[in-house]
């Protein structure tokens, strides 16, 4: 982010230190706004149109250029990322959110702008899709597929995903000191701390792993999950581990990921555990209840059962063959 102009650096610093956004979220803001400013430099004729957009530097973006941006420019950008870069509706929506946050900061906080051109920028409509998840049988097969030199660690990782609904970053950053008996404390989005109660499957998996977890030559001594190099395990390694066992269990690794295991935990808790939607929101660490509500979907069996339960379902048309004129 060293290439960012001062105006953008100030915004990113504000989002991290004042608004409490995570480093990964701040990085996404930077990537979104870097692309936007690159486009603006071409769109406004600051650089030649023939120049490769992804190679354009933005450290020379001035306040005057920012002040010249209009709502029309913003919609031109939205058209560009849709047509030229084939961004999905969800990707475009995220970029809209980044732009709106940036211009709100410039208008209300840094006072660089008198008028916010992004205030009327609309976000593309996103079609809500039901979350993809493993059923109970598939989840059991996934756990049974775990083997090899690091089977205790890998089993513990997947057990926590399937039972606790953790995000990838939350799992990777678990410290041994975060676990007290059956209580796990995790740091979620925006640095928000929450408590998760471990069930017996999780407790047993953690206990079995801690018995074989390396103790000598460990670089990150408090990290729960360690790599072969005895450092805190990385996001990429966990993703690889999950994909490997998904494939070994006979499932499609292109359809399932670490986040789909989070979906699985949430869906199974709601479907089989009679979990209240507010309790599920707390477990998953969702800021908004609307995010959690997607897990209240019903599957085809539930729909079929609902139709069959209709008191009129057993009524058949009268047999007219025995009737006479």
CATH number of the domain residue 159 falls in: 1.10.443.10
Residues 205 and 98 in one domain: no
Residues 155 and 290 in one domain: yes
Residues 101 and 143 in one domain: no
Instruction: Classify each residue of 269-290 as buried b or exposed e, where b means 16 or more C-beta atoms within 10 Å of its C-beta.
Output: bbbeeebeeeebbebbbbeeee
**Using one digit for the tens of pLDDT, what is the confidence trace for 285-317?**
887 787 777 776 655 566 566 666 677 766 767
- Indicate which residues carry an active-site annotation: 167, 189, 259, 262, 286, 295
Our CA dihedral for 259, 260, 261, 263, rounded to 10 degrees, sits at: 100
**Using one digit for the tens of pLDDT, what is the confidence trace for 165-218?**
898 999 999 999 999 999 999 888 877 888 888 999 999 999 999 999 999 999
Q: What percent of the chain stands above pLDDT 90?
A: 60
Helices (H), 44-116: 63-67, 71-83, 89-108
Q: How confident is the model at residue 139 (pLDDT cuts 50, 70, 90)?
A: very high
Instruction: Classify each residue of 206-231 as buried b or exposed e, where b means 16 or more C-beta atoms within 10 Å of its C-beta.
Output: bebbeeebeeeeeeeeebbbbbeebe
Q: What is the pTM of this model?
A: 0.65
**Using one digit for the tens of pLDDT, what is the confidence trace for 87-126?**
988 899 999 999 999 999 999 999 999 999 999 999 888 7
Residues 73 and 163 in one domain: no
Give the residue numbers spanning the domain of 292.
136-298
């Amino acid at each position: 982010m060293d290439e960012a102009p001062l105006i953008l650096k100030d915004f990113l610093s504000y989002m991290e230190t004042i608004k409490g956004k995570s480093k990964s979220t701040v990085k996404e803001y930077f990537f979104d706004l870097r692309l936007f400013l690159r486009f603006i430099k071409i769109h406004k004729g600051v650089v030649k149109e023939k120049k490769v957009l992804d190679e354009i530097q933005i450290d020379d973006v001035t306040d005057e250029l920012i002040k010249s941006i209009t709502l029309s420019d913003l919609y031109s950008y939205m058209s560009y990322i849709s047509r030229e870069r084939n961004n999905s509706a969800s990707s475009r929506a995220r970029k809209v959110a980044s732009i709106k946050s940036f211009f709100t900061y410039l208008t209300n906080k840094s006072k660089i702008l008198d008028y916010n051109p992004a205030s009327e920028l609309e976000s593309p409509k996103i079609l809500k899709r039901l979350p993809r998840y493993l059923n109970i049988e598939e989840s059991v097969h996934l756990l049974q597929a775990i083997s090899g030199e690091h089977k205790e660690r890998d089993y513990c990782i997947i057990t926590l995903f399937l039972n606790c609904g953790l995000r990838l970053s939350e799992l990777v950053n678990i410290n041994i000191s975060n676990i007290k008996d059956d209580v796990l404390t995790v740091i979620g989005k925006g640095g928000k701390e929450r408590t998760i109660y471990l069930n017996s499957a999780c407790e047993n998996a953690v206990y079995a792993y801690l018995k074989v977890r390396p103790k000598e030559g460990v670089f990150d001594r408090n990290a729960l999950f360690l790599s072969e190099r005895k450092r805190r395990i990385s996001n990429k390694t966990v993703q690889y581990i999950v994909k490997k066992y998904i494939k070994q269990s006979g499932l499609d690794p292109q359809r399932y990921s670490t986040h789909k295991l989070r979906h699985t935990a949430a869906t199974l808790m709601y479907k089989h555990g009679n979990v209240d939607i507010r309790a599920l929101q707390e477990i998953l660490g969702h800021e908004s209840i609307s995010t959690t509500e997607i897990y209240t979907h019903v599957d085809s069996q539930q729909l079929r059962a609902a139709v069959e339960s209709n008191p009129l379902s057993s009524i058949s048309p009268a047999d007219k063959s025995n009737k006479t004129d």
